[in-house]
Amino acid sequence: MLLAGFWFAFLALPISGPWNAVLIGGACSFMLLAIKLFQTAMTTGPAGEMVARLWCALGRMWGQAAWLVGDRKKILVMILLLLSLPWVLDRYTTDVLVVTGIYVMLALGLNVVVGFAGLLDLGYVAFYAVGAYTYALLNSWMDLSFWPALLAGGALSMAFGVLLGIPVLRLRGDYLAIVTLGFGEIIRLVLNNWDNLTNGPNGILSIDRPTIGGMRLYQPMHFFYLVVFLCFMTMFVVGRLNRSRLGRAWSALREDETAAECMGINITYTKLTAFAFGAAWAGIGGVVFAAKQTFVSPESFTFFESVIILCMVVLGGMGSIPGVILGALVLTVLPEALRELTLYRPMLLGGAMVLMMILRPQGFLQMHGQRLPASAVLPGDVRRGREKTHLGGDT
Amino acid sequence: MSGFLECRGLIRRFGGVVALDALDFEVRPGEILSLIGPNGAGKTTAFNVITGIFLPTGGDVQFAKRSIVGLKSDAITRLGIARTFQNIRIFGAMTVLENVMVGRHGKLRAGPVGAILRTPGVMNEERAAAEFSMELMRFSGIDLNAGARADSLSYGDQRRLEITRALASEPQIILLDEPAAGMNPREKNDLNDLIFAIRESGVTVLLIEHDMKVVMGISDRVIVIDHGVKIAEGTPAEVCQDAKVLEAYLGASHA
């Protein structure tokens, strides 16, 4: 700790002069010490008990939330409530919800790669950019309308996913993270510098809005319904993929690649499908983003976006679909709620992440449940076993 | 009887270290064959070469009269060679049933489109796979924990799970790498019964084991390797008397 303090003091020396450097070093040491003390206090003793109790209470609350979607009737009511939101909320809030919806799709997509298959991807925003530019370019050249572009954006992102997947097949962990990070930056730099194609940093203007049967979608409310529909589709597809033979293969790959290969799993195919099915949602999200903004530029697809999406997945709970949705909600709604404190927002977010990783590294919700198409597939005794061992919600 | 898994002149070097030095042996259908030898003799390396984790530096591995050198591990498993690992390598965050169903992977066909649409064919396949896996877990005695996380099982049960998972691919031959390591006497007894039952069901067993009681109790034949070469072969009783084996294990003065 002291060492870290000295180091920071040394780093700050040329910028701030000797006295301030000592101050900064001292502050760093103190903060590290405080974090350490805080961590011990929060995991042991009465404070630890309180934290544990808090999580229990939150778990119970989540259990009750799960009750809200317990059967078909309740699910229907919840969906109707969700769909009535834009009638109750103002335009601004609805717009925030649209952005949230796009992030939910992105986070669910990244969750396939990171959460299910365990492949750390730090350049995920590249696929988002591919989707957005697919629509922007095809629309400005060929007047391609929104709906075919949605398919094209998804398909092209999938292709890019495979393209990224092939060179990184042999890489794991840190190495994989670095290559994907590079990939994300390459895509952004190409968009930024290929002036003839992408109009460089100026971006592409006046992209068409989507239409349904002659009606133009331009209100936040319209986009809200579009995004809600796409989110449900993402949840549906990603959930079904997870609870299938392929989902089990992804999970096995995440747990132990060699053992998975010795179980007859084709590693190449399994990794490439994970990249492809992860990237597709970013592409579709990108098309929606371009249509909503009517403007795209490389600025929207920075490394920071990748980091935020990854934070949503990690904060929510890797591999858990409800968890990841919750993570995306928290990380888009919270910054909006903190708009008053503009300057302190990144600091508060960073602090929240640090606290979260210290106190609950597994994220809000943990994944569990059998990766099978439906509980109906299981013989009775297994279902009982599952109830006994897995309390709370479902993956 | 000719062996249906044969290693011929198998060589594997790691830099200057020769782990396998022209190793020859054959496994006959329906037998329980033990591979023994001092630490570092090359037993696990032999397993890794057979199952395609390492490429051999020289020599050949034949399975059912066909060379399997150069095939990837997943292809070799689908041909009918399944294995377990010395240090348990179950999928800890998955349930016990899921682990066994991952073992069944190569026997299933459903792709991503089928998984999304959940066609009747896919659902039937999944149902059959779940039932098959449950049956197999009853066979090896871990069915009561089907829904539990695999890493919550006791050590002995984790070993059993690994064997069950390997059996789920319906192999013709199963390679067990020190299945009795770290087990208490009762668990070892149960393991013996399980290995006999596996052979009874028509699966050939190739076994690496350090525990001599286990080896002597269950093996039809024993092969002793040291420094990557075979130094003795025969029934457990024959091998115990062999001068070279005693030397390898106990040192020259005892021979």
Confidence check: pLDDT of A385 > 70: no
B120: closest chain A residue by CA: A373
Of the pLDDT bands very low, low, confident and very high (cuts 50, 70, 90), residue B79 is very high
A87 SS3 class:
helix
| Rounded percentage of chain A residues whose pLDDT exceeds 90 | 50
Interatomic CA distance for residues A251 and A244, integer angstroms:
11
Count CB atoms within 10 A of the CB of residue A68: 11
CA B133 to chain A, closest CA, distance in angstroms equals 10
Hey, which of A81-90, A169-178, A305-314, A333-342 has the most confident mean pLDDT? A305-314
Show which of residues 5-24 on chain B sit within 8 Å of chain A, judged by CB atoms.
none
Please answer yes or no on whether A240 and B116 come within 8 Å at the CB atom.
yes
- Complex ipTM more than 0.90, yes or no: yes
Interatomic CA distance for residues A154 and A131, integer angstroms:
7
The two structure tokens encoding residue A126: 């590249």
Of the pLDDT bands very low, low, confident and very high (cuts 50, 70, 90), residue A51 is confident
CA A2 to chain B, closest CA, distance in angstroms equals 38
Please answer yes or no on whether B115 and A372 come within 8 Å at the CB atom.
no
The two structure tokens encoding residue B152: 């919550």
Per CB-CB distance under 8 Å, the chain A contacts of B115 are 240-241, 243-247, 373
Nearest residue to A238 (alpha-carbon basis) of A181, A287, A276, A264: A276
Per CB-CB distance under 8 Å, the chain B contacts of A267 are 72, 74
> Which residue from A251, A373, A377 is facing B91, i.e. has the nearest CB?
A251
CA A167 to chain B, closest CA, distance in angstroms equals 18
Domain boundaries, chain A: 2-64, 78-359
Per CB-CB distance under 8 Å, the chain A contacts of B111 are 246
**Is residue B81 within 8 Å of residue B172, measured between CB atoms?**
yes
Report pLDDT for B195.
95
Mean pLDDT calculated for residue range A86-102: 91
Please answer yes or no on whether B82 and A262 come within 8 Å at the CB atom.
yes
Mean pLDDT calculated for residue range A275-282: 96
Please answer yes or no on whether B110 and A245 come within 8 Å at the CB atom.
yes
Please answer yes or no on whether A386 and B147 come within 8 Å at the CB atom.
yes
pTM, two decimal places: 0.86
Report pLDDT for B240.
85
Report pLDDT for A386.
40
Interatomic CA distance for residues B231 and B219, integer angstroms:
17
**Is residue B167 within 8 Å of residue B82, measured between CB atoms?**
yes
A319: closest chain B residue by CA: B93
A203 SS3 class:
coil
B96: closest chain A residue by CA: A370
Residue B127 sits at the chain A interface (C-beta within 8 Å): yes
Q: Which long-range contacts (CB under 8 A, 24 or more apart) does A210-214 make?
A: A210/A145, A210/A146, A210/A147, A210/A291, A211/A145, A211/A146
Of the pLDDT bands very low, low, confident and very high (cuts 50, 70, 90), residue A60 is confident
Nearest residue to B108 (alpha-carbon basis) of A334, A373, A181, A166: A373
Interatomic CA distance for residues B146 and B28, integer angstroms:
34
Per CB-CB distance under 8 Å, the chain A contacts of B78 are 264
CA B77 to chain A, closest CA, distance in angstroms equals 5
Tell me which DSSP letter residue B143 carries. Answer: G
Nearest residue to B216 (alpha-carbon basis) of B25, B34, B31, B28: B34
CA A229 to chain B, closest CA, distance in angstroms equals 17
Confidence check: pLDDT of A144 > 60: yes
Please answer yes or no on whether B145 and A385 come within 8 Å at the CB atom.
yes
Cβ contacts of residue B23 below 8 Å, gap of 6+? B7, B9, B10, B11, B42, B46, B59, B225, B228, B229, B230
